Each structure stands twice: as structure tokens, then as C-alpha cells.
Amino acid sequence: MNVSELKEYAMRNGADLVGIANIERFDEVPLEKHPRSILPEAKSVVVLGRRIPRGALRGVEEGTQFQIYRLFGYDWLENRLLALTTYSVVRFLEDHRYEAVPLPSLPVGIPPMGVPVREGAPPPNVIPDLTDAAVRAGLGEIGYCGVLLTPQFGPRQRLQMVITDAPLTPDPIFEGRICDRCMECVNSCPLNAFLSGREKVMNVCDKTMVVGELDLNKCAGCKNGALPNLYHPAGGPDRLAALCVRSCIDHLEKGGRLTSRFSIPFRRRPLWALDESGRPIGGEREDALGRRG
């Protein structure tokens, strides 16, 4: 088995993105998030992604239909469609006599739920950071908005991971720049969740990224497309359909910064925004038929 065979198999089983990192790229990661805490013999990490259909965001962008995204951009995509892809890759590795651990997307903010079972081991449950792993696997970068951006889809993907003892050739770290720090994510947030002037510099495998700091308590109350975390509130809400990230999509597409192209723009009408109580913000706005009121 070689890397090309693995990637071709993953793509045939629905993957839109496949990135590979050797385990040495995780050397500075703490035990509480380290893949080797789950599989001590691990040699490689495979990060798999499936795109969020652009149309799954259409109802949220128009402010008229949120369940399409909840199903096809979040719940079903992650827990059914992407899970099947991950399961298929695990079977492929097992058929080649390698052990493989499937990992879904779990919020890294979940606190430990047990006690260490042996000296030197972290408490359960160890949850590797998928966004961090995707950067280590060469898939993209973390944008100022705090989410993974890939050159293909920007923020429009879901990720899962496979930890394996297969010695796989790693992909190079992504050296390009997708985020141009336009600040559309900051400026469009109606709740002022980005903390003014506060940023953190992230360095992953010598790739430096600047990320805006967020008040996640404000994000948790966002009624502009954010969804509560499926697994645990400590993990923070899902923001991929929120106004901040949708504004990022619109900017990246208009600037030609993504390889995924469409014949019409993502944002076609004036944006809508709600405050913490769910009331519209701003003055007159056009309705879906272009009428003002």
C-alpha cells in the first residue's frame, strides 16, 4: 500500500480532502490532545474532509431556512456521510494489516471525564484538535475568524481523523495564504464577539497564523446561523453558518482566493442580522423580492 492508493480509495468513498501528517509533527502537542495518547504505536495521522455544500448555506444566508444546513452541513454530513468515509478508510488500512483508530469531530473544550488509569497517562477522554491536525496534515490554515480555511473550499468543510500505525509519507505543510485579514468576520459580527485588539499568534509546524480572540459566551447566544454544539456546550457553538463565517466565504469567493468557483456570487442581497434577543438590527432592509420595508 502507498499513499496514492489510500488517497484514491478515500476519494472514491466520498472524501473531498485528504491530508497526511507523520506523528513527529505532533511532538509539542500535550498528552491531553496527542494522537499517541490513544494509539501509542501511531506513525501517521490521516485527516479526511467532505465539503459543506454551498447550497446548504443558502437558506441561512437568506434567513429563511436553517434546517437544511443543520442536516446537510452539520449533523448528517458529519455523523453519517463523513463517518462512512472515515469508516471506509479504516477498513482499507485494516485490510492492509495496519491498525487504524477513527476519530469523529469532537469539541476540544470538553473537560476530562475520568481519572488516569496508569502513571503518566492523561485522563479520559483524549480529544485531538482536528483543526490543528488539518494544518499539520497540509490541508490549509486557520483564518482570523478562528476556523480552518482550505484553498479549495475556504471554511466549507467537515473533518474527521484516522490515527494509524501505517508509515505514510506526509503531505507538505500548506505554504500559501488564504486569509488576507480583511476583517469581514469582525465587522459583520452583530454581537461584537471578537475582542477588540486581542489576537493570538498560532505557530503550527513553523506556519504562523494570527487569529482573533472571541468571547464564546456571546457566540453561544448568536441567532445569526450559529448552532449549539452537538456534543458538549464547553466545546463552543458551531459557527460555520454564522454571519461571521458566511461573510468570510463571500469575501474569499469574490476575491478569487478559492479554487471552488461558482457562476453567481454567494451574497446576492443585503445581509440580515439579529441581536442577542432575536430582533433585527439596522434600518430598512430589502425583503426576498427586493422590496424595502
pLDDT at 272: 96
Between CA 274 and CA 272 the distance in angstroms is 7
Q: Is 286 a domain residue?
A: no
Between CA 245 and CA 233 the distance in angstroms is 20
The whole-number average pLDDT for the span 157-178 is: 98
Pairing relation of β-strands 194-204 and 44-51? unpaired
Co-location of 43 and 158 in the same domain: yes
Co-location of 67 and 147 in the same domain: yes
Co-location of 131 and 71 in the same domain: yes
pLDDT higher than threshold 70 for residue 138: yes
Confidence of residue 232 (pLDDT cuts 50, 70, 90): low
pLDDT at 234: 67
Co-location of 21 and 62 in the same domain: yes
240-290 pLDDT, tens per residue?
Answer: 999 999 999 999 999 999 999 999 999 999 999 999 999 999 644 444 444
Co-location of 28 and 139 in the same domain: yes
Q: Is 174 a domain residue?
A: no
Q: Is 285 a domain residue?
A: no
Co-location of 137 and 190 in the same domain: no
Co-location of 155 and 242 in the same domain: no
CATH assignment at residue 22: 3.40.109
Confidence of residue 30 (pLDDT cuts 50, 70, 90): very high
Q: Is 29 a domain residue?
A: yes
Confidence of residue 110 (pLDDT cuts 50, 70, 90): confident
The pLDDT > 90 percentage for the chain reads 86
pLDDT at 287: 41
Co-location of 160 and 49 in the same domain: yes
* Residues 100 and 163 sit within 8 Å (Cβ to Cβ): yes
The more confidently predicted of residues 230 and 141 is 141
Q: Is 22 a domain residue?
A: yes
Co-location of 46 and 89 in the same domain: yes
pLDDT higher than threshold 90 for residue 11: yes
Co-location of 92 and 151 in the same domain: yes
Provide the residue range defining the domain that includes 242. Answer: 184-254
50-80 pLDDT, tens per residue?
Answer: 999 999 999 999 999 999 999 999 999 999 9
Q: Work out the mean pLDDT of the chain and round it to a whole number.
A: 93
Count of structural domains within the chain: 2
